[in-house]
Structure 1
Amino acid sequence: MPKAQAKVTAPTPAPDTPLPVEYAVRIYPVKDSKYTLANANVDINGIFAIRGVKIIRGENGPFVAMPQYKDGHGDYHDICFPCTKEARQQFNETVLNAYEQSLRQGQQQDNAPPMEQSM
């Protein structure tokens, strides 16, 4: 027996006027992990939050993995996800850019001389 679903639509602008999407991404580097490079929390337009996004080391470079659950058959399914290819691409690029920026900031802090020497 399928679960009951209600489809509720919010007022939307004209179809040719896309809503601007603003992401606030916080990166939490992971040390001592073979595959996970970092965890991320993402707030979308200040009204929707996604926790538990992962940046994973892949053969073709890092990629974004959404929060998942494992079903009774051992298969993994995303809990939340962008619904269009374009939205997924924008989300992934934003998270990966934030990750790369956090790496650069970390390198700058590592290369900075101690405070007493810089005065």
Structure 2
Amino acid sequence: MQITEVKVFPAKENGRLKAYATIVFDNSFIIRDLKIIEGNKGHFVSMPSRRRKDGTFRDIVHPLNSETRQAIEDSVIKEYHNSVESV
């Protein structure tokens, strides 16, 4: 599966949440509402999640291996940096 499109949308607030992202695989599968968060060691990508009845959060979608997670994170962070530089 190849990442064929990444779109980044800046967050409106000025906290740790920097942007939202949408990613498309093989021009046929889309994942929306990934979050780009500024952490202590740099930016990272948080998967879309839903709050459970007990107040905890659970990812709705997530990669099943570290290689796929790294590919997603690299693509999204790269596009985020490109969008910040172009402003």
Is this a same-fold pair by TM over 0.5? yes
Alignment of 1:29-108 (within 5 A): 29-106=10-87
Question: Please, what TM-score do these two structures have when normalized by structure 1?
Answer: 0.69
CA contact (8 A) 2:3 2:23 kept: no
How far 1:23 moved relative to its partner? 3.1
User: What is the DSSP-based 3-state SS (H/G/I as helix, E as strand, rest coil) of the residue aligned with 2:35?
Assistant: strand
Structure 1 vs Structure 2: percent identity of aligned residues? 31
The whole-number CA distance in structure 2 between the counterparts of 1:91 and 1:32 is 24
How far 1:69 moved relative to its partner? 0.5
| Superposed structure 1 runs of 4+ greater than 6 Å apart | none
Question: Please, what TM-score do these two structures have when normalized by structure 2?
Answer: 0.92
Specify every segment of 5 or more residues in structure 1 that has no aligned partner in the other structure, as ranges. Answer: 1-18, 107-119
User: Could you say which structure has the higher strand fraction?
Assistant: 2
Residue 14 (structure 2) pairs with residue 22 (structure 1):
no
The whole-number CA distance in structure 2 between the counterparts of 1:60 and 1:74 is 27
The number of residue pairs the alignment matches comes to 87
Which structure ranks higher in relative contact order (CA pairs < 8 Å, sequence separation ≥ 6)?
2
